[in-house]
Structure 1
Amino acid sequence: MSFVALAQFFGRDVPGPVAGPGGADLVQRFRCPFTHGPYLERRCLPQRRWTAQTEQADHFLAAVPEVPLLRWEDELPESCVVHPEEVDTCPWAEDDTLPAALIARIDAWDDAQTAEGGRDALSYQGALSIPPGWRVGGFPGWASTGPMDITCASCAVPMRLLLIAGGDELDPDSHSWMPLEDRDPSRRGMASVRGGQSVAQPTRLRFGRDRDLHVFTCPSGGGGGDGMTAR
């Protein structure tokens, strides 16, 4: 079974965490369109290449390979082009990811926002810390597992976040991250989001238990390469 393209990005578009061993500046991620084993696991294939080599390739595929009949629509990505936008992220506020006193202040601020704004209230995790959807670099989110130490299996060095892939681009806590072109300026909160399901789930994908796929990479370059997990 052929793998299906999941993501591709160049170092010239997303500098920083993209650079791999030997200066490889093209990151590619592929995914098997079928699940495997009793836990319905997804098999992914990471690739790192050099842009100069790919641009000098002898030939390219003239047509996209045919995909076999799939059981679920969310097993095949919706083709799209990414237009990178730089945003600031902040650490997840739980356990020892931040000083205890600062987490207590964040919790108190969240409570005050909820008391004042109800369902559409801002929250630190959803509106100020971790953007929803697809992202390269920044801080990871730990919604389903809580903060964990991710270390390289080969050299025991702490790994860093390379890529987050998500099924949804917004949720009740993330309306503050919505692009201006997808907003109705006359309305507030989630009611301001327009465009329907195509805006909420532009890639048609699902990961794990409707969570995000996190790809971590070893900063030493000579260790275990990249590791993937759903959070």
Structure 2
Amino acid sequence: MTAMMPQLVDWRKITVRLHPRPGTPSFQESHVGGPMLRMPGRAWPSCDEHPAEINGSLIPRPMVSVAQLYKQQFPEIPYPVDSDLLQIFWCPNDHFIEYTESSFEGPAVKIVWGDSSMGLGGYHSTAADIVDPLIDSYLVRPCGITPERVVEFPDVDELPADVRSMLEILDQREGLRYQYALSVARGWKVGGWASWHSTDLLDLSCPDCDGPVTLLLKVDSNEWDSGSRRWRPVEDRDLEDEELQVAYAPTRVEVARAGELRIFCCRSNVHHRVVLDTQ
């Protein structure tokens, strides 16, 4: 891309595709879904808005484990001082959140930073065993991950008008399909660019300080576009039937009508509230 469009050189970003695959990950490793490392003084996060009934009593609903990422594997994540572990949870029910420039409907997210050297062993949520209310497509199937770093280019809405115009000409001349095949990577990923294919570009900002935010994690319903082989891993291109479906939708998560959910964090203080968006 940069050989044909030198104007894109300064727009390159590295993103880390996670490539989740169903398995039995350990709390001692990075993974999607599954057990989390227990930190001293911290209970499993819960949601007061959607209580659960256990033995005739209502309790705050345990959240669902979404991802656990260690700094050793993901130095790109902006871990705070004295932290080397990021844990992400969400409530398996829809929440409605209003931001300054946008609104969100989907699972409410809780992020936890920690020092893994203080870990007390693994623990699990019981959310999947609790009666309704609960949205099955928000239950994350435990998966191991195989991180892969790739170069990304931004959504066309992020680019200056003159660069967009040149890309349109290049697309027509070369048949590149920049927006869908050569810009933002599909699938679960850490960092990189965000796609704005549903809403056009939104001016997101931190709800606590109004400062800029950066993409922390993208949760995708599918690992590649079913109409294109562009982001389909080479290792998966000969798969068929059930094996292909598992590779295509390994976590069984479906957000935003088979879309994607993005978690943005404040660039100046990762302890501020996250911003959530779906496309």
| TM-score normalized by the length of structure 1 | 0.79
Report the alpha carbon displacement of residue 223 of structure 1 after superposing the two structures with TM. 6.3
Residue 15 (structure 1) aligned with residue 75 (structure 2)? yes
| Alignment-mate amino acid for residue 170 of structure 2 | W
Residue 86 (structure 1) aligned with residue 145 (structure 2)? no
Report the alpha carbon displacement of residue 84 of structure 1 after superposing the two structures with TM. 0.7
Look up the match of 2:65.
5
Look up the match of 2:254.
206
The structure in which a higher percent of residues are strand is: 2
Equivalent of 1:42, from 100, 107, 116? Answer: 107
Report the alpha carbon displacement of residue 200 of structure 1 after superposing the two structures with TM. 1.5
For the residues of structure 1 that align with 2:172 and 2:254, how far apart are their CA atoms?
Answer: 31
The structure in which a higher percent of residues are helix is: 1
SS in 2 for 1:196: helix
For the residues of structure 2 that align with 1:106 and 1:66, how far apart are their CA atoms?
Answer: 47
SS in 1 for 2:66: strand
By relative contact order (CA 8 Å, sep 6+), the higher-ranking structure is: 2
| Alignment-mate amino acid for residue 135 of structure 1 | K
Structure 1 unmatched runs, 5+: 115-121, 185-192
Matches within 5 A, 1:62-211: 65=126, 67=128, 68-69=130-131, 73-94=136-157, 97-114=158-175, 122-172=176-226, 174-184=228-238, 194=240, 195-211=243-259
SS in 2 for 1:202: coil
Q: Percent identity?
A: 29
Report the alpha carbon displacement of residue 230 of structure 1 after superposing the two structures with TM. 1.3
Q: Are the equivalent residues in 2 in contact too, given 1:77–1:204 (CA < 8 A)?
A: yes
Look up the match of 2:32.
none
Structure 2 unmatched runs, 5+: 1-60, 97-103
Count of aligned pairs = 208
Residues 64 and 42 of structure 1, relative CA distance in 2, 3 Å threshold: closer
For the residues of structure 2 that align with 1:222 and 1:26, how far apart are their CA atoms?
Answer: 13
| Alignment-mate amino acid for residue 115 of structure 2 | W
| Alignment-mate amino acid for residue 181 of structure 1 | E
| Alignment-mate amino acid for residue 141 of structure 1 | S
The RMSD of aligned alpha carbons is 2.5
Residues 198 and 220 of structure 1, relative CA distance in 2, 3 Å threshold: same
| TM-score normalized by the length of structure 2 | 0.66
For the residues of structure 2 that align with 1:209 and 1:64, how far apart are their CA atoms?
Answer: 25
